[in-house]
């Protein structure tokens, strides 16, 4: 199961472009030319979403299932009807082997969703829906994404969190077994607000999450038993740890701007990670708004630390630092076609949300420079932790996520 939930360490940087942090300068701001980005496919040393061996949906279908009381059925039906013929759909999925999208006629279930549900009760609820409404829904199909839309009267808890709250999930996709057939499914509560944009209202609160989860369901449909585009490459494994996911929509949901409203859709949708765009040296989150130029600060991480994932052991680059002490990290500033002259950069070492975070020390740097950033831990603990490097202008925030090894 994957969820749409902006992680706390990332969200702390949302205001960085407004320069609300301490600016430090001096010898660290000098120099020019900068070092080239570390070796790798991407000129900005960005991650690649990799296929873990599972299937994708070459011809995905979406079956909307509304539980009684859902307030935006007409609006959601209209939104869904615009996706298949949009320029957005092929732009965000074609490189992952996903083909044309079909939206099936929507269905209002005769089964009530009740006052509360949990992530573990969803399979049983969907089985009830098919038992009651099977004649309308037909035989369960592995190429069909079952989109379950809940009214605001139903409280949903996922992974121990009540959905729609602060830093809580606003939706998730998962895998169900229906009559022996494994099928992709989406759980969507009626959240009153969208964490990434407080100005959204009505159905516009829901469409970013719907787009996010449909695309991840198409690129990673059997996420539990046969994951496909589920995580990033080993070198960048710490990215998926820091943002609570490594799927194609997860990697863009904390960027600013993370949403776009295509003219042929008319509703806000999630921008999606593109390996091809990252490798081309343009913004990795597509579609790209007109005039946007990507910029980022890439740290120098001289150590190699052994980590384990999915039964495999491999090395990730890291900054080695003394336990509990302030550290310094060197970063190089890069922008698309050298087109962004300067921006604010800052660093944050994240250990736990259970303790307060110090304000990130930040400075203004220029494309081509090497600068040194101060890193302050928010607690004394040994081990390997995410090191988040933020780059921010008045209109955009981008992240490079590495590791810091405290011992």
In angstroms, the CA 325 to CA 328 distance is 10
- Token digits of residue 161: 């969190």
Q: What pLDDT does 5 receive?
A: 44
Same domain, 301 and 157: no
In angstroms, the CA 98 to CA 215 distance is 9
Same domain, 76 and 220: yes
Neighbouring residues of 187: CB distance < 8 A, sequence distance ≥ 6: 119, 122, 148, 150, 156, 158, 171, 172, 173, 174
CB-based burial, 30-44: b 16+ in 10 Å, e otherwise: eeeebbebeebebbb
Query: Which H helix or E strand runs over 80?
Result: helix 73-82
Q: Last residue of a domain, which of 199, 227, 255?
A: 227
Same domain, 143 and 40: no
Residues 347 and 375: beta-carbon distance below 8 Å: yes
In angstroms, the CA 137 to CA 321 distance is 57
Residues 139 and 86: beta-carbon distance below 8 Å: no
- Residue 271 domain-assigned? no
DSSP 256: B
Q: What pLDDT does 352 receive?
A: 64
Same domain, 181 and 69: yes
Q: Up-side HSE of residue 80: CA atoms within 13 Å toward CB?
A: 24
Q: Last residue of a domain, which of 227, 251, 277?
A: 227
The CATH number given to whatever domain includes residue 402 is 2.60.40.10
- Token digits of residue 332: 């190089």
Among residues 122, 205, 140, which one has the least CA distance to residue 179? 140
3-class SS string, 16-39: HHHCCCCECCCHHHCCCCCCCCCC
Same domain, 22 and 95: no
Range of the domain at 41: 2-50+293-406
The CATH number given to whatever domain includes residue 177 is 3.40.390
- List 49's β-bridge partners, or say none: 232
In angstroms, the CA 44 to CA 47 distance is 9
Query: Which H helix or E strand runs over 392?
Result: strand 383-392
Q: What pLDDT does 164 receive?
A: 92
- Residue 213 domain-assigned? yes
Same domain, 143 and 222: yes
Domains in the chain, number: 2
- Residue 125 domain-assigned? yes
Beta-strand ranges (E) seen in 79-200 are: 102-103, 107-108, 116-118, 144-149, 155-158, 161-162, 172-178, 181-188
Distance between start and end Cα atoms, the chain: 33
- Residue 287 domain-assigned? no
- Residue 163 domain-assigned? yes
SS3 356: coil
Residues 89 and 246: beta-carbon distance below 8 Å: no
Same domain, 300 and 166: no
CA dist 339 to 31, 136, 333, 342, Å? 18, 55, 12, 9
Query: Which H helix or E strand runs over 345?
Result: strand 342-349
One-character DSSP codes across 271-298 = -EE-HHHHHHTS-SEESPPTT---EEEE
Same domain, 180 and 57: yes
Same domain, 97 and 9: no
CB-based burial, 338-377: b 16+ in 10 Å, e otherwise: eebeebbbbbbbbbeeeeebeebbbbebbbbbbbbbbbeb
Same domain, 22 and 86: no
Neighbouring residues of 146: CB distance < 8 A, sequence distance ≥ 6: 63, 65, 126, 176, 183, 184, 185, 186
- Residue 111 domain-assigned? yes
Same domain, 81 and 196: yes
Sign of CA dihedral 329, 6, 4, 398: negative
- Residue 268 domain-assigned? no
Same domain, 172 and 317: no
Instruction: Report mean pLDDT in 10-residue bins for the chain, 407 residues.
Output: 43 36 29 41 92 97 98 98 98 98 97 96 96 95 98 94 86 94 97 87 97 98 97 94 91 94 98 97 96 96 91 93 92 96 91 59 88 85 91 93 93
- Residue 165 domain-assigned? yes
Q: What pLDDT does 309 receive?
A: 85
Q: What pLDDT does 35 receive?
A: 40
Q: Last residue of a domain, which of 182, 211, 227?
A: 227
């Amino acid at each position: 199961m994957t969820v749409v939930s902006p992680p706390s360490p990332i969200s702390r940087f949302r205001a960085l472009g407004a320069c609300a942090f301490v600016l430090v300068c001096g010898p660290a701001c000098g120099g020019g030319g900068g070092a080239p980005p570390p070796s790798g496919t991407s000129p900005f040393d960005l991650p690649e979403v990799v296929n873990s061996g599972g299937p994708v949906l070459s011809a995905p279908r979406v079956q909307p299932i509304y539980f009684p009381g859902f307030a935006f059925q007409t609006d959601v039906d209209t939104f869904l009807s615009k996706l298949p013929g949009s320029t957005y759909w092929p732009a965000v999925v074609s490189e992952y082997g996903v083909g044309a999208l079909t939206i099936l006629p929507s269905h209002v279930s005769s089964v009530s969703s009740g006052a509360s549900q949990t992530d573990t009760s969803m399979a049983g609820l969907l089985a009830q829906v098919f038992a009651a409404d099977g004649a309308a829904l037909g035989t369960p199909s592995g190429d069909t994404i079952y989109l379950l839309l809940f009214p605001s009267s139903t409280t949903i808890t996922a992974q121990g969190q009540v959905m729609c709250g602060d830093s809580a999930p606003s939706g998730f996709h998962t895998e169900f077994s229906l009559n022996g057939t494994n099928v992709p499914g989406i759980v969507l509560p009626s959240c009153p607000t969208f964490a990434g944009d407080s100005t959204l209202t009505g159905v516009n609160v829901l469409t970013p999450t719907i787009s996010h989860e449909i695309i991840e369901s198409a690129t990673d449909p059997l996420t539990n038993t046969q994951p496909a585009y589920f995580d990033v490459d080993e070198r960048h494994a710490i990215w998926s740890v820091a943002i609570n996911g490594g799927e194609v929509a997860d990697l863009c949901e904390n960027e600013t701007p993370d949403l776009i409203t295509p003219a042929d859709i008319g509703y806000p949708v999630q921008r999606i990670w593109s390996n091809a765009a990252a490798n081309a040296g343009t913004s990795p989150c597509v579609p790209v708004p007109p005039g946007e130029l990507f910029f980022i600060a890439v740290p120098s991480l001289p150590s190699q630390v052994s980590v384990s994932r999915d039964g495999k052991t491999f090395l990730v680059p890291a900054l080695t630092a003394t336990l509990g002490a302030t550290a310094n990290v060197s970063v190089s500033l890069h922008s698309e076609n050298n087109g962004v002259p300067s921006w604010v950069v800052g660093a944050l070492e994240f250990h736990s949300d259970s303790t307060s975070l110090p304000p990130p020390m930040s400075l203004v740097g220029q494309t081509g420079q090497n600068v040194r950033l101060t890193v302050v831990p928010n607690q004394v603990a040994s081990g390997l932790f995410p090191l988040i490097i933020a780059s921010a202008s008045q209109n955009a925030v981008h992240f490079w996520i590495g590791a810091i090894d405290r011992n």
